[in-house]
């Protein structure tokens, strides 16, 4: 997921997946109208977790060093309230500027659940119809003739059958960039039948942004600030570029990334702090005293709409309206979203029923294993089995085994080649056929800007490449060695 996720994002949120199961939602209950007064439910006592904080204080710096992650800010919530905040590492290693807990981040695809609150706010107040045909608010310039009918609800749940989109489209904040309409006219592709299954789409959320602007006649960023961000106390947050000082992002190779903006806002354009995302998390808790949405509307956002599959299915069960969803080992529901963009990674995990939550923001694209370790530790602290996103760590176990196997195979192959024994033609052809991809694939991967493997194995993929190359050289030596005489 540009940004998703996680979020999976242009990473685990990069592969669109389909599933045949889509739940139906008839819309808001008739008795949930604008101006509903939210009565907060009793909040459970907040258990302190000194052991968790001690674990994170030890674990995070070690993982940052192992994976070359520049900086991280973490907020832990208990009973719907932030109880622990900590900044680690550097905002800008090149200048020695340390990370601070009030640092402003690109939160990437965490923008999606925030956007979903804006769309639901407009729906509750009668200014936007989630179930009306999208074409009513979009021009023919954006939707080509023959486009199958879809709605805002389809866009919010990634069930409109729309392609992922150009997640790499980014611009210097000061340079000219295409209008949202022009960008979407180039970016829109319908790859499936609306309502048929899940297909993660940045383009879909950006279409939702244009629908909101066209239907309300208002600028999306200004509307979101007035209707959602300011009422929730997210005063440091903005969908507009403000030029405020930020940490420096770092790409998958640890190189600094210059500031940039996307041609759209809704899918990944929010800038925010960990404290503000924690305020957003608080608003999502059951019985939270917020005035933006009714409790019924919040529940509708969290309610699973479609099962997810493919890479997303490894870490999540379903998607609601702007949120991934999963059932925890204690039977309670969790909602979450991750984000990944060029130089940034983010994650938000919430258990609305208990008020537990965690926010993790990093100015590095190498932070997924770190996030997974943090989430595993946090899961244990709230008494549940590790949440789905911790399965990123499975890849590390597989990778380490594969590295060992490749090194062993490479050593044996080189030893065999050095013995200069004559081998049959078929064996030498097989060895050569295996050697080419084992040597060529790492070389090809080294010149790519982004590969999913780089995201989940930032510290191990060079070892995989080296081990594959060693095996390739050994097999290549066998292929070029002496053949049997006929």
- Model pTM score: 0.86
Residue 338 has a pLDDT of 96
In sign, the C-alpha dihedral spanning 15, 16, 21, 25 is positive
Confidence of residue 167 (pLDDT cuts 50, 70, 90): confident
Q: For Cα atoms 181, 22, 32, give the angle at the middle one, nearest 5 degrees.
A: 75
Residue 3 has a pLDDT of 43
The more confidently predicted of residues 164 and 49 is: 164
Report how far residue 173's alpha carbon sits from residue 166's, in angstroms, rounded to the nearest whole number. 18
Q: Tokens representing 99? A: 């990370």
**Does the pLDDT value for residue 311 go beyond 90?**
no
Report how far residue 210's alpha carbon sits from residue 180's, in angstroms, rounded to the nearest whole number. 7
**Does the pLDDT value for residue 250 go beyond 50?**
yes
Residue 423 has a pLDDT of 82
Confidence of residue 123 (pLDDT cuts 50, 70, 90): very high
Residue for token pair 């997210």 = 234
Which residues fall within 8 angstroms of residue 306, CB to CB, at 6 or more apart?
19, 21, 22, 23, 157, 158, 159, 197, 198, 318, 319
Confidence of residue 14 (pLDDT cuts 50, 70, 90): very low
Bridge-based pairing state of the strands 104-106 and 81-92: unpaired
Closest CA to 442 of 428, 429, 415, 460: 460
**Does the pLDDT value for residue 142 go beyond 50?**
yes
Alpha carbon 208 to its chain's center: 19
Residue 394 has a pLDDT of 92
The more confidently predicted of residues 318 and 418 is: 318
Residue 448 has a pLDDT of 83
249 phi and psi angles, rounded to 5 deg:
-70, 160
Contact 462, 412 (CB under 8 A): no
Which residues fall within 8 angstroms of residue 169, CB to CB, at 6 or more apart?
183, 187, 262, 263
What's the N-to-C CA distance of the chain in angstroms?
A: 57
Residue 184 has a pLDDT of 94
Closest CA to 428 of 472, 483, 468, 474: 483
Report how far residue 215's alpha carbon sits from residue 380's, in angstroms, rounded to the nearest whole number. 46
Segment 331-389, tens digit of pLDDT: 999 999 999 999 999 999 999 999 999 999 999 999 999 999 999 999 999 999 999 99
Average of per-residue pLDDT across 223-252: 97
Q: Tokens representing 263? A: 């041609």
Confidence of residue 450 (pLDDT cuts 50, 70, 90): confident
**Does the pLDDT value for residue 166 go beyond 90?**
no
> How does 216-238 read in b/e, with b if 16+ C-beta sit within 10 Å?
eebebbebbbebbbebbebebbb
Q: Tokens representing 139? A: 């021009």
Segment 22-80, tens digit of pLDDT: 444 434 433 333 332 333 333 333 445 679 999 999 999 999 999 999 999 999 999 99
Beta bridge partners of 327: 333
Q: Tokens representing 419? A: 């013995």
Closest CA to 452 of 66, 7, 2, 11: 11
Segment 299-308, tens digit of pLDDT: 999 999 999 9
Confidence of residue 7 (pLDDT cuts 50, 70, 90): very low
Average of per-residue pLDDT across 463-482: 92
Domain residue extents for the chain: 50-386, 393-480
Closest CA to 111 of 272, 304, 315: 272
Which residues fall within 8 angstroms of residue 36, CB to CB, at 6 or more apart?
294
Contact 9, 1 (CB under 8 A): yes
Residue 412 has a pLDDT of 93
Confidence of residue 486 (pLDDT cuts 50, 70, 90): low
Q: Tokens representing 448? A: 């790519």
Q: Please tell us whether the domain made up of 50-386 is placed in CATH 3.30.1460.30.
A: no
Dump the DSSP string for 205-237.
HHHHHHHHHHHH-S-HHHHHIIIIITTTT-TT-
The mean predicted confidence, pLDDT, of the chain is 89
Residue 181 has a pLDDT of 93
The more confidently predicted of residues 221 and 167 is: 221
């Amino acid at each position: 997921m540009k940004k998703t996720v996680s979020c999976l994002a242009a990473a685990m949120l990069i592969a669109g997946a389909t599933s045949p199961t889509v739940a139906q939602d008839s819309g808001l209950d008739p008795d949930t109208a604008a101006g509903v007064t939210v009565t907060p439910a009793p909040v459970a006592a907040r258990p302190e977790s000194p052991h968790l904080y001690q674990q994170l204080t030890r674990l995070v710096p070690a993982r940052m060093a192992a994976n070359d992650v520049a900086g991280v800010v973490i907020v832990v919530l208990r009973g719907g309230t932030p109880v622990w905040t900590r900044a680690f590492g550097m905002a800008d290693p090149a200048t020695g500027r340390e990370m601070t807990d009030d640092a402003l981040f690109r939160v990437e695809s965490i923008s999606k659940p925030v956007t979903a609150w804006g769309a639901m706010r407009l729906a509750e107040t009668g200014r936007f119809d989630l179930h009306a045909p999208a074409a009513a608010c979009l021009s023919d310039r954006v939707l080509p003739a023959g486009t199958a009918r879809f709605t805002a609800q389809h866009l919010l749940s990634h069930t409109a059958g729309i392609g992922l989109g150009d997640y790499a489209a980014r611009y210097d904040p000061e340079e000219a960039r295409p209008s949202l309409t022009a960008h979407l006219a180039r970016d829109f592709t319908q790859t499936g039948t609306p309502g048929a299954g899940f297909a993660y789409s940045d383009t879909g959320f950006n279409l939702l942004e244009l629908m909101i602007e066209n239907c309300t006649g208002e600028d999306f960023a200004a509307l979101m600030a007035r209707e959602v961000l300011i009422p929730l106390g997210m005063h440091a947050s903005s969908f507009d570029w403000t030029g405020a000082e930020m940490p420096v992002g770092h790409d998958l190779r640890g190189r600094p990334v210059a500031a940039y903006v996307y041609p759209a806002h809704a899918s990944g354009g929010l800038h925010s702090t960990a404290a503000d995302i924690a305020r957003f998390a608080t608003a999502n808790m059951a019985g939270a005293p917020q005035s933006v949405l009714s409790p019924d509307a919040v529940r509708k956002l969290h309610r699973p709409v479609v099962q997810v599959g493919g890479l997303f299915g490894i870490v999540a069960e379903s998607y609601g309206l702007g949120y991934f969803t999963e059932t925890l080992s204690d039977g309670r529901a969790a909602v979450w979203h991750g984000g990944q963009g060029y130089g940034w990674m983010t994650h938000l995990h919430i258990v609305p029923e208990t008020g537990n939550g965690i926010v993790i923001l990093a100015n590095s694209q190498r932070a997924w294993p770190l996030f997974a370790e943090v989430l595993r530790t946090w899961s244990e602290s709230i008494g549940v089995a590790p949440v789905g996103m911790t399965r990123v760590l499975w890849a590390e176990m597989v990778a380490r085994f594969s590295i060992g196997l490749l090194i062993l195979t490479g050593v044996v192959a080189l030893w065999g080649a050095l013995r200069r024994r004559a081998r049959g033609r078929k064996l030498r052809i097989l060895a050569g056929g295996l050697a080419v991809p084992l040597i060529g694939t790492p070389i090809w991967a080294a010149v790519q800007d982004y590969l999913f493997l780089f995201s989940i194995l930032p510290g191990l993929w060079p070892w995989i490449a080296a081990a594959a190359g060693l095996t390739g050289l050994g097999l290549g030596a066998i292929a070029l060695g002496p053949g049997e005489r006929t």
